[in-house]
Structures are given as C-alpha cells and as structure tokens.
Amino acid sequence: MKLMITLEAARRNAGYTLKEAAPLFHIHEQTLAAYENDSSDVPFSFIRMIPNVYHFPTNNIFFGKKYEFIRTIRMEKEEVS
C-alpha cells in the first residue's frame, strides 16, 4: 500500500503555513486553502511545483476532496480491525 497524504499534510510536513506557502506557488493563500479542501481541479502548473516547494512527490499526494480522503482512511482502518 502506497503512503498517501493530503495537500494540506504535505504543506504542514514541509513546515509552512498557508501564508508562507502561497507566495511560493505565486497564488493567494485563499486559493491555496481552496486547493487543500478540494484539489481535484488544480492547474498542472501548480502540481508541477509541489515537489520543489514541499519536497514531497506528487505521486503520494491525494488529489481530490479532503473529506473523501478522510472517509477512505477511516474505512480502511475499519476493515483492518
């Protein structure tokens, strides 16, 4: 099973706040917050910058609605128990 994290988790693991990370992507912090809540429709130019900014591979980032990711993780935990 591949380790997957949310876009928000990638930012936090890199040690950035929204206010610090947004300028690194050349976007407003509200735009970054929106991407973190639903990253299913982010521009490719943004996705290409993630490894350089967060030092984390995009292959391991869940791109979609954050609540769907959380629901999936909970279901996997219930199946293991």
- What is the assigned CATH class of domain 7-80? mainly alpha
Q: What tens-digit pLDDT sequence spans the chain (81 residues)?
A: 567 899 999 999 999 999 999 999 999 999 999 999 998 889 999 999 999 999 999 999 989 888 787 777 677 766 666
Nearest alpha-carbon partner for 48 in 37, 38, 66, 63: 63
pTM over 0.75: yes
Reduce the DSSP state of residue 7 to 3 states and report it: helix
Reduce the DSSP state of residue 61 to 3 states and report it: strand
What is the residue extent of each domain of the chain? 7-80
